[in-house]
Amino acid sequence: MAAPPEQPVQVQIEIDDTTAQGAYANLALLSHTETEFVLDFIYVQAQAPKAKVRARILSSPSHTKRLLAALEENVKRYEAKFGPIKAAGAHERDDTRDRGNYL
């Protein structure tokens, strides 16, 4: 006799008021090791000599790939509704190969 199919688990997600406010970031730094990706979200003020990391997200490679797919799909939907997004100039550096990418 076959076992009954497993029912999907519904996860209830809660968010506190502070987290719900969000944090604005206008720069992201990405790096990775064999086992995880590190995404630093940073706010850079114009003419300020310092910037502050607002959030650091650590993620598995498989979850990061699913996040990438979700972002790509949502950008496509956004552009279909509102038109193309003009990408700001990228912060490209020659020495980012070992230290991560800048967005």
Domain map (residue ranges) of the chain: 24-83
- Reduced to 3 states (helix: H, G, I; strand: E, B; else coil), residue 54 is strand
Question: Please, are residues 83 and 21 in contact by the beta-carbon 8 Å criterion?
Answer: no
Tokens of 28: 């992201």
Judged against a pLDDT cut of 80, whether residue 4 lies above it is answered with no
**Residues in CB range of 43: below 8 A, 6 or more apart:** 23, 24, 25, 26, 27, 51, 52, 54
Euclidean distance between CA atoms 89 and 11, whole angstroms: 39
**9-52 pLDDT, tens per residue?**
999 999 999 999 999 999 999 999 999 999 999 999 989 889 99
Question: Is the overall model pTM greater than 0.85, yes or no?
Answer: no
